[in-house]
Structures are given as C-alpha cells and as structure tokens.
Amino acid sequence: MPAMGDLPGAVPGATVAAVVPCKDEADRIAATVRAVASLPGVARVVVVDDGSSDDTARVAREAGADVVRHERNRGKAAALETGVRRVRELDAADAGRVRPAAGAAALLFVDGDLQETAANLGVLTTPVLDGTADMTIATLPAQLTTGGGRGLVVNLARDGIRRLTGFTAVQPLSGMRCLSPRAFESATPLARGWGVETALTVDVLRAGLTVVEVPCELQHRVSGSDWRGQLHRAGQYRDVWLALVRRGWRPWHRG
C-alpha cells in the first residue's frame, strides 16, 4: 500500500479517517472494515454501532475497527457525529506520539454494507486531499439486486437541492462521501436521520465550497418492497423533506 505522500497531489503526511455508521450489519461489516482499512491514506476506521441487535460491534472490533456503540438506535446523523467525535478524541490522543498526527485531513463516510467493494472508495479521497474538492460524493452503478423504491425520495432530494443551490445531483442520497474538515464544520449540526446527506450537500454548497460527484464501483444492500422497505422509505422521505424545509425550501411555492 503506497504511503499518503506517494499519492499524486496529496498533502504531505495527510491522513484519512473513515467513519462507518451501521445497524445490524454483522454479516457485512467485517469485509467493509477490512476493505476501507486497505485504502491508501486511511489511518483509522471508526465504526458506530447504532443500536444493533446482532453482533455488529464485536465483529467490527475483531476486524480491526475502533468501535463506539449506541445502546439505542439514534439515527444516521447522530451516528456520524459520534464517529467524528471519536476520530477527534483519537487524534488528540495521538498528538505528540512517535507517529505524527495533526488530525485527519479528510473524513470518509462509509455505509457498513459495502463489503469488499468499499476498496474502490479511494477515488473519493484524492480530490479532497489535493484541494480539488471540499466534498466528494460517490455515484453508484446499477446494483446487482434491484430495490423496491420508485424514486420518490431521490426526486424530492434532487429537486430540493437544485432549488436551494442550483446544483443538480446525480445521486443526492449517496452516503459515501469524503469531506475536508472545513466542509464538515460548515454542515454542523447535521440534519436529523436520513436527511443528513441532502443537508450536507446544501450546507457545503451554501458555504461557497466545492462539491464533486465521482463514479465509484460500489455494491450495497438495497431496501426491498416489503413493509420494512416501505417503512424505511417513508422515514427517508420525512427526514429529507424536513431537512430541505429547514433550509428554506418551500415546495408549495413555484418559481
């Protein structure tokens, strides 16, 4: 694995901290952690177990991740904030030790169900480390397993982002993102629950920072068409709608 300083355009000594929010991913999290840890420049992987009822925390720890556990499910935004706080605690603990650490130069947000395909996430980190972008967003290819959604949440997020910022996102709900510290701070506190990705895009763009979507060969578990999948999408729609309205989007106003 090449050192960070060997990457084209990389900041000398720069490191990437990966934050993996997840719930009930015991069957997938180990492969995801190992794949993320293999990425050039990734110095640490923090998994936030958001109230799992299975062995997600134990499996992630055995795979080499630093693990923080929520005793109850608090939602994706809370899990990301917990993960970033843990990264900063670890950075502070490392300060002054033999391994130089001025803190993570980039934060990589990773969904826990990517498994081995997470090894392809390196395309997100380089533009942030070399200053080309403040936030990169992965766009995924067609998934091997089709989902049960009809695109209502995606269209809501895309339309809201476009109306608020002028930016037309290809995949506005993509959870795989790399952010500079400045980009993360511009979006805090994060929008609740499943509105976090939509709000991140709006807030980072409104701060005058650069957002770039990057094609990435990733495969993940998709929500089905059963009642659980429908309930999940209903929660997504609610959270995305709230995130947009709280940022000034008025769907009842046209023009």
Q: What is the pLDDT of residues 8-49, one digit of tens each?
A: 333 445 689 999 999 999 999 999 999 999 999 999 999 999
DSSP state of 110: -
| Strand locations in the chain (E) | 16-22, 42-50, 66-70, 106-109, 135-139, 177-179, 211-215
Can you list the domains of the chain with their CATH numbers?
4-144+170-224 (3.90.550.10)
Distance CA 56, CA 108 (A): 20
User: Which of 16-25, 91-100, 102-111, 159-168 has the weakest average pLDDT?
Assistant: 91-100
Edge-to-edge strand order for the sheet containing 66-70?
66-70, 42-50, 16-22, 106-109, 177-179, 135-139, 211-215
pLDDT at residue number 101? 41
Rounded Cα–Cα distance for residues 207 and 20 (Å):
25
Percent of the chain at pLDDT exceeding 90: 72
Structural tokens at position 107: 């934060």
